[in-house]
Structure 1
Amino acid sequence: MIVIAGTLAFDSTKRSILDDAFETMRAASLQEAGCYEYQCYVSRTDPGLAFFFEKWEDDAAVAAHMQAPHMAVFGKVFGEIGVKGVDIKKYSGATEGPLQ
């Protein structure tokens, strides 16, 4: 399993643009082979900070996602929302089970 997680700092006055774009992106991504989860949440304490969390079957699924047309469309939104920083990482070899 591959986990993608990280943050995106953006202009908080552009939140509605991010919300709309992400919902479109999420719906399309969840239709992709190997996509198990695709989430974005805006911080409760910093309205200009979004958290991303994705779960994928393998590297091939992530690679296909990165080439998907909706990924290119979502990338264009970054210019519209005043991106100030991106820190998104890939974690591979993850196993999943209950916390306790």
Structure 2
Amino acid sequence: MIVIAGTIAFDPDKAEQMLASATTLMEATRVEEGCLDYVMAADPLIPGLLRLFERWENEEHLGAHMAASHSRTFQKSLGDCGVSGVSIDRYEVASVTKLL
């Protein structure tokens, strides 16, 4: 399993536009083959910060997502949202233990 987690910093005055773009991307991504989880959410304590969390079955599915037209459309929209920073990390998970 592959986990992607990170943040996108954007102009707080563009929050409505950023969340609309993120929602469109989430709707399209969640039905992709191999997508286990996909969420982008505004941080309630830090205006202008979007938090990203994804889980993918494997590299093939993640690669298909990155090449999908809705992913490219979202990436192109970032400039219009006043993005000032992106920090996204990839984790390859060997095992998972349920906590609760």
Structures share a fold, TM > 0.5? yes
Normalization by structure 2: what TM-score? Answer: 0.94
Q: Does the aligned pair in 2 maintain the 1:2–1:94 contact within 8 Å?
A: no
The alignment's C-alpha RMSD in Å is: 1.1
Normalization by structure 1: what TM-score? Answer: 0.94
Q: Which residue of 2 aligns with 1:95?
A: 95
SS at match of 1:66: helix
Report the CA distance shift for 1:77/1:93 in structure 2 as closer, same or farther (over 3 A): same
- Ranges in structure 2 where 5+ consecutive residues have no aligned partner: none
Q: Which residue of 2 aligns with 1:68?
A: 68
Q: Which moved more, 1:86-95 or 1:54-63?
A: 86-95
- Ranges in structure 1 where 5+ consecutive residues have no aligned partner: none
Aligned length: 100
SS at match of 2:90: strand
Q: Distance in 2 between matches of 1:48 and 1:16?
A: 10
Runs in 1 of length 4+ with deviation above 4 angstroms? none
- Report the CA distance between 1:45 and its aligned residue: 1.4
Q: Which amino acid aligns with 2:86?
A: V
Report the CA distance shift for 1:10/1:57 in structure 2 as closer, same or farther (over 3 A): same
